[in-house]
Structures are given as structure tokens and as C-alpha cells.
Amino acid sequence: MISPHYFVVTPMNGQRYDNIRDYGGKEFIISSSQEDHTVTNRVAVVQSVPIGYDGPIKKDDLVIVHHNVFRIYYDMKGNERSSWNHYKGDVFMIEHEQLFLYKSPDGEWNAPYPYCFVEPVSKMESKVATLGVEEHLVGTIAFIPDNKLIKKGDMVSFIPESEYEFSIDSRKLYRMKIKNLCLKL
């Protein structure tokens, strides 16, 4: 199955939701709501790429997708619905803009243009008291497409409200567009 415009994917392990956590050898359901976007599965396996696509993403690569791709919701009449991305069974179609990271089965995560991922940094010494344990609007580049100005490991600042939190390999990362990076520190 190949689409002229969309990546065809299936959810990792066939699960639409990632709402079970292991604590001390016991499994706990952390959310039972289908509408809770924080526990939708964001990892997919690529089944096919769009016709004519010549980018780095290939069949069988893992991809991190938008939280609404696999989500189930209720319409205005209370009827259960799948996202528009759902084709049938566990097959979904996604646009390039809904794909945030990719990796081959034996490779490392990579960010496709225009996205990058920033890891927040711990609070720096400052004479001004602020709340929280992380430095506000500051982090280090975890994943970024090839870029002549900014590379992996660089400390950057980003504009407010541009970050969207993800958990990638048990690391808290912020996804944002490269254009939202405002300073290299």
C-alpha cells in the first residue's frame, strides 16, 4: 500500500495508547481516558513512504508522530471517532508535518526539517530567584537536521510558547521549529 502524498504507518506494538507504566514490577494504568492526549502512542513504524519521496525516511523506520494521529475522540453526538489519519485496522496515513523524529531500526534518532529537539538544562546560578528546577527558555540541542549554524550539543535559547514536551528514550525533550531558536549561548 503506497500513498501519493502520505506516509503509511502503524502504531508501535499495535497500540494506539501508551498508558501503562511499570512501577516496582507492577503495571499501572496511568490514564483510562481515550481523550487524554498525554498518553497517546507517538511511536509508529513506517510501512511505506509517499510516491516520489526521496528523503531519508524509509520503510520499517521508527517515527515520532503528532499526538492526535492514533487518538480516539467523541464527536458532538457522543459517537466514538478515530482521527482523520486512520485508514483501516491499524493503518494510518500521516503528512510530513506530523512526523517529528525518525530512526532506522539500527540507527539513531534524527529530526527532519523544520523541527529540532531541545533538552532543558538545570537551573543556572542566578541572583534572581525563579520557580522550577529548569532554566526558563534554555536548553541544549538533542536532535537537529544538518545545520551550519547550530549543531547537536549547542546551548540555545528559544522563544516562549514554542516548546512542546516529548519523552524520547526516557528523556524529557522539547520539540520546536528551528526558526524558534533565538540565541546560541
Percent of the chain with pLDDT over 90: 56
Measured CA distances, 162 to 1, 130, 142, 159 (Å): 35, 20, 16, 6
In this structure, the chain runs to a length of 185
Answer whether 113's CB lies under 8 Å from 94's CB: no
The 10 Å Cβ neighbour count of residue 156 is 21
pTM, two decimals, is 0.81
**Per residue in 101-156, pLDDT tens?**
999 988 899 999 999 999 999 876 544 556 677 888 999 999 999 888 899 999 99
CA-closest candidate to residue 71, choices 60, 85, 59, 58? 85
Cell of 130: 525563579
DSSP codes of every residue in 108-144: --BPPTTEEEEEEEEPPP-SS--SSSEEEEEEEEEE-
Position of cell 510530513? 96
**Per residue in 4-29, pLDDT tens?**
999 999 998 887 767 666 888 887 77
User: Cβ contacts of residue 123 below 8 Å, gap of 6+?
Assistant: 130, 132, 133, 134, 135
